[in-house]
Structure 1
Amino acid sequence: MATAKPLYQRLSKNITAYPPEEAREMAFMLLDHYFGLRKTDVLTDKPLPPNRTEPDWFKILERLNRQEPIQHVIGTTIFCGLEFEVSPDVLIPRPETEDLVRLIMHDFADRTDDVHIVDIGTGSGCIAVTLSRFLPQSVVTGWDVSDEALTLAQRNAHNLNADVTFTIQDILSVPVDFAEKFDCVVSNPPYVTRSEAAEMNRNVLDYEPDLALFVEDSDPLVFYKAVADFCVRHLTKDGACYVEINERFGNATQQVFAERGFTKIQVYKDIHGKDRSIRATF
């Protein structure tokens, strides 16, 4: 009877484009995705499912060794405990963004009335869908400039039973007659400067969309200025704005919000101690 551990060891050994620790984590992810085997199942060498359909391991290893993200290989990723479909049309959700979402859920957990939320640059819909699922009083809208991203986000909302309205809208060109107000404005906009690309890994540069990643070095805070300006007109009196930020521009991003009349601006660090998100209120 075939068991999990020998397959795990074979996969780990043949994922050669990454350090051994990362290769082992990828092997765990593959066995979980294809056979539903958790890490403890693998380590205790449980039998492989008897009626399993074997994937093409050679092709999977080939893709991983080209540094194609494992999330693209298996087609999904876990975000805040929910499984999201991902593709090269959207940014792969990161753990840092989970921290931002948990902050929002904490801040609005005790609200009993409707909480109107807009997620600007929704991508896969991970922020919008998660907030809709875990804040039952929320009324959530997701904006993006990409038709492909919105199609994927709608599919994720459907698969996860989330009630989110997705709309194609560019934060840089919101109609002057737009009148809706929001209690929560959240955005994880493009914030990597073009000059930083040389420091990035191939699995990001070659496989994730430039549109969701990069801003020009000449105006790296362009989207934060637009989000803050939008909040001046469309954030409710007691509302809050939440953004993920580039660690290099923590102080400068704070200043963007301060210049527009925000009085309470908090910078939060990620698990590596780097400036990673901001909450701003009037």
Structure 2
Amino acid sequence: MATAKPLYDRLSKNITAYAPEEAREMAFMLLDHYFGLRKTDVLTDKPLPPNRTEPDWFRILERLNRQEPIQHVIGTTIFCGLEFEVSPDVLIPRPETEDLVRLIMHDFADRTDDVPIVDIGTGSGCIAVTLARFLPQSVVTGWDVSENALALARQNARHLNADVTFAIQDILNVAPDFGQQYDVVVSNPPYVTRSEAAGMDRNVLDYEPDLALFVDDNDPLVFYKAVADFCTRHLTRNGACYVEINERFGSATQQVFTERGFSNIQVYKDIHGKDRSIRAAF
């Protein structure tokens, strides 16, 4: 009877484009995705499912060794305990963004009335869908400039039974007569400068969308200025703005909000001790 450990050993040994520790984690992810085997199942050498359909392991290893993200290979990733479909049209959701979502859920957990939320640059819909699922009182809208991203976000919302309204909208060009007010404005906008690209891994540069990643070096805070300006007109006085940020520009991004009249601004660090998000309120 075929068991999990020999297959795990074979996969981790043949993922050669990454360090051994990363290769082992990828092998665990593959066995979980294709056969529903958890780490403990693999390490205790549980039998492989008897009626399993074997994927094309050669093709999977080939794609991984070209440094195609494993999330693209298997087509999904886990975000806040929910499984989201991903594609090259959207950023792959990351753990740092989970922290931003948990902060919002903590801040609004006790609200009993409707909480209108807009997620600017929704991508896969991971922020919008998670908030709709875990904040029952939320009324969530997701904006993006990419039709392909919105199509995937809508698909994720359907599969995860989340009530989210998605729309094409560019935060740099919001109509002057736009009248909606929000208790939460949240965004994980493009914030990597073009000059930083040289230090990035191929699995990001070659497979994730430039549109969602990069800003010009001559105005790296362009989206934060637009979000903060939007908030001066459309954020309720009891609401808050939440943004993920470039670690290099924590103080400068904080200053963007200060200049626009926000008086309660907090910068949060990620697990590596780097400036990673901001919460701003009036």
- Shorter-chain TM-score range: over 0.9
2:12 matches 1:26: no
Question: Partners in 1 of 2:199 and 2:96 — Cα distance?
Answer: 19
Deviations 1:152-177 (A, max 9, x none): 00000000000000000000000111
Correspondences of 1:154-165 after superposition (within 5 Å): 154-165=154-165
Question: Partners in 2 of 1:199 and 1:62 — Cα distance?
Answer: 24
2:110 matches 1:110: yes
2:260 corresponding residue in structure 1: 260
1:142 corresponding residue in structure 2: 142
Cα drift, residue 226 of structure 1:
0.1
Cα drift, residue 273 of structure 1:
0.1
2:35 corresponding residue in structure 1: 35
The residue type paired with residue 55 of structure 2 is P
Deviations 1:30-64 (A, max 9, x none): 00000000000000000000000000000000000
SS in 2 for 1:185: strand
Correspondences of 1:169-248 after superposition (within 5 Å): 169-248=169-248
1:124 corresponding residue in structure 2: 124
Cα drift, residue 221 of structure 1:
0.1
Deviations 1:98-131 (A, max 9, x none): 0000000000000000000000000000000000
Structure 1: runs of 5 or more not aligned: none
What is the TM-score with the length of structure 2 in the denominator? 1.00
SS in 1 for 2:152: helix
Deviations 1:2-48 (A, max 9, x none): 00000000000000000000000000000000000000000000000
SS in 2 for 1:17: coil
Cα drift, residue 191 of structure 1:
0.0
Question: Partners in 1 of 2:35 and 2:214 — Cα distance?
Answer: 37
2:86 matches 1:83: no
Question: Partners in 2 of 1:237 and 1:264 — Cα distance?
Answer: 12
2:69 corresponding residue in structure 1: 69
4+ residue stretches of structure 1 with deviation over 2 A?
none
SS in 2 for 1:58: helix
Structure 2: runs of 5 or more not aligned: none
SS in 2 for 1:18: coil
Coordinate RMSD, CA, aligned: 0.2
Question: Partners in 2 of 1:64 and 1:6 — Cα distance?
Answer: 19
Question: Partners in 2 of 1:189 and 1:169 — Cα distance?
Answer: 13
Identity %: 88
Question: Partners in 2 of 1:168 and 1:44 — Cα distance?
Answer: 49
SS in 1 for 2:165: strand
2:280 matches 1:280: yes
SS in 2 for 1:236: strand
Cα drift, residue 238 of structure 1:
0.5
1:98 corresponding residue in structure 2: 98
The alignment of Structure 1 onto Structure 2 pairs a total of residues equal to 282
Deviations 1:46-90 (A, max 9, x none): 000000000000000000000000000000000000000000000
The residue type paired with residue 46 of structure 2 is K
Question: Partners in 2 of 1:189 and 1:132 — Cα distance?
Answer: 20
Cα drift, residue 270 of structure 1:
0.1
